[in-house]
Amino acid sequence: MRTIHPIAAYRSLHKMTLSAFGDLAGVQKAAVHKWENETGKPSIDAARRIDERTNGALPKWLLRPDVWAVDDSLPRAHNEPSEQEPAQ
């Protein structure tokens, strides 16, 4: 049995179309479709926007666990992706 994707569940709960969620995330509806079908994943910026614009209902760590570690033993700064240092 396939589980429902968190974005699809959020859209269903809030009666949002793919297009409306795409507007919220700052992407086109095709990107949302790919995320829900797990043929793509949100960019780091899109995951941050979704987290902020849903007031944490869709946390960035849930959308991109490959980027944000969920480890309460580490300070919050260690759970954020590091920025690359500027080239010198």
Number of alpha carbons in the 13 Å side-chain half-sphere of residue 66: 5
- The reported pTM is 0.77
pLDDT at 85 over 70: no
pLDDT at 12: 96
Does any domain span residue 79?
no
Does any domain span residue 3?
no
Does any domain span residue 21?
yes
Does any domain span residue 51?
yes
Does any domain span residue 40?
yes
Instruction: Check if the beta carbon of residue 44 is closer than 8 Å to that of residue 63.
Output: no
Does any domain span residue 87?
no
Percentage above 70 pLDDT, the chain: 76
Nearest CA-CA partner of 58 in 35, 76, 77, 40: 35
Which CATH number does the domain housing residue 50 bear? 1.10.260.40
pLDDT at 24: 96
Q: Which residues span the domain enclosing 26?
A: 10-68
Mean pLDDT of 26-35: 97
Does any domain span residue 5?
no
The structural domain count of the chain equals 1
Between 9 and 88, the higher pLDDT residue: 9
pLDDT at 63: 94
DSSP annotation string for 5-56: PHHHHHHHHTT--HHHHHHHHTS-HHHHHHHHTTSS---HHHHHHHHHHTTT
CA distance 3 to 73: 29
Does any domain span residue 77?
no
